[in-house]
């Protein structure tokens, strides 16, 4: 642990992410105070033992974590800095290019702000999934500006370490393209597949097995948070969807043609898919274990 470990922290936004960060920091001995525009959210998060309600009386905190939805991050950051809530700031939004550019445009103090994104499992709505170990062993991307001073970066790195996560530094653009591929595209595909089931009769659905349940699993996420996230990463997600459309159209062309070579051509795709499936299984956490019981030293 570095000497930049925060002694005090303010969590702005008491959803599942903010509350989980608050629980991890509290467990790590940090004195945590909580802010949310919904007073009920603060009360509930405090009741879980994640901290105490923030009051204007205290001194600025060593660290402020903005854990609102992406579209509210810059407003919340700007307000928090204007009120002097702390010395170092970070956020947890799932997209980084727009957030970090807007923070610059809005005139936020960039010396003390390090954009970040902890990659936990799919969010349960509200605080139901809040857990101090939510980020344990999972990647936590930091996107420092070129001008970010070491002292700010070290404080946010200490936050990542306190949460048991694995720090990865990336540019906002590289981050957004990566999460488009591994998070946002699977979500869009699951939603499109699941949308076709909304009107399906029970005689169809009862034939479904693991294949379909797995394929649409991501579609169970909160549509409001989801659309906010996807809209903030529109370009990279659109490109990823385009690539998937091209792949599916190639399969459809092969199937419609119905030549004798169909099994061979499909076999090549399916073999490549099986290879990608193996590559992911070897590199990424298995389903159901993400953010739970992975060793912290991956």
Binders in 236-275 for a second copy, by CB under 8 A? 237-238, 241-245, 247-249, 251-252, 255-256, 258, 262-264, 266-267, 269-275
CB 4 within 8 A of CB 154: yes
| Comparison of 150 and 224: residue with beta carbon closer to a second copy | 224
Residue 74 CB, shortest distance to a second copy, in Å, is 16
Task: Candidates 33-41, 99-107, 142-150, 209-217: pick the segment binding a second copy (CB under 8 A).
Answer: 209-217
C-alpha 26/C-alpha 34 separation (Å) is: 11
CB 233 within 8 A of CB 180: yes
Task: Candidates 9-17, 108-116, 155-163, 214-222: pick the segment binding a second copy (CB under 8 A).
Answer: 214-222
Number of residues located near a second copy, criterion CB under 8 A: 101
CA distances to 3, 90, 271, 280 from 158, in Å:
9, 12, 43, 29
| Backbone torsions φ then ψ of 21, nearest 5 degrees | -60, -45
Interacting positions 8-67 with a second copy (CB under 8 A): none
Sheet holding 139-142, edge to edge: 116-118, 139-142, 166-169
| Comparison of 4 and 119: residue with beta carbon closer to a second copy | 119
Task: Candidates 34-42, 51-59, 146-154, 233-241: pick the segment binding a second copy (CB under 8 A).
Answer: 233-241
Interacting positions 117-176 with a second copy (CB under 8 A): 119-122, 138-139, 141, 168
CA distances to 6, 220, 232, 294 from 225, in Å:
29, 12, 11, 26
Joined tokens for residue 95: 């997209």
Interacting positions 188-207 with a second copy (CB under 8 A): 188-198, 200, 202-207
Is residue 294 part of the contact set for a second copy (CB under 8 A)? no
| Comparison of 83 and 298: residue with beta carbon closer to a second copy | 298
DSSP code of 12?
A: E
């Amino acid at each position: 642990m570095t000497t930049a470990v925060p002694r005090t922290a303010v969590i702005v936004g008491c959803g599942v992410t903010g509350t989980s960060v608050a629980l991890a920091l509290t467990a790590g001995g940090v004195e945590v105070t909580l802010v949310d525009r919904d007073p009920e959210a603060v009360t509930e998060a405090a009741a879980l033992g994640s901290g105490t309600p923030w009051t204007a009386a205290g001194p600025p905190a060593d660290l402020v974590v903005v854990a609102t939805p992406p579209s509210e991050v810059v407003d919340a950051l700007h307000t928090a800095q204007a009120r002097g809530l702390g010395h170092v700031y970070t956020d947890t939004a799932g997209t980084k290019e727009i957030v970090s550019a807007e923070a610059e445009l809005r005139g936020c103090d960039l010396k003390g702000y390090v954009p970040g994104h902890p990659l936990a499992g799919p969010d349960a709505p509200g605080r139901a999934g809040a857990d101090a170990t939510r980020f344990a062993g999972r990647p936590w991307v930091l996107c420092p500006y070129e001008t970010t001073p070491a002292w700010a970066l070290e404080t946010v790195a200490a936050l990542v370490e306190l949460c048991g996560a694995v720090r990865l530094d990336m540019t906002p653009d590289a981050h957004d393209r990566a999460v488009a591929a591994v998070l946002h595209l699977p979500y869009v595909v699951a939603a499109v597949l699941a949308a076709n089931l909304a009107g399906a009769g029970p005689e169809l659905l009862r034939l479904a097995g693991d294949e379909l349940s797995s394929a649409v699993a991501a579609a169970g996420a909160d549509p409001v948070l989801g659309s906010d996230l996807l809209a903030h990463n529109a370009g990279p997600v659109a490109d990823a969807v385009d690539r998937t459309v091209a792949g599916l159209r190639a399969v459809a062309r092969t199937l419609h043609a119905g030549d004798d070579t169909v099994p061979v051509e499909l076999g090549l795709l399916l073999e490549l898919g099986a290879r990608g499936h193996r590559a992911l299984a070897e590199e990424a956490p298995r389903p159901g274990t993400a953010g739970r019981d992975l060793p912290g030293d991956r």
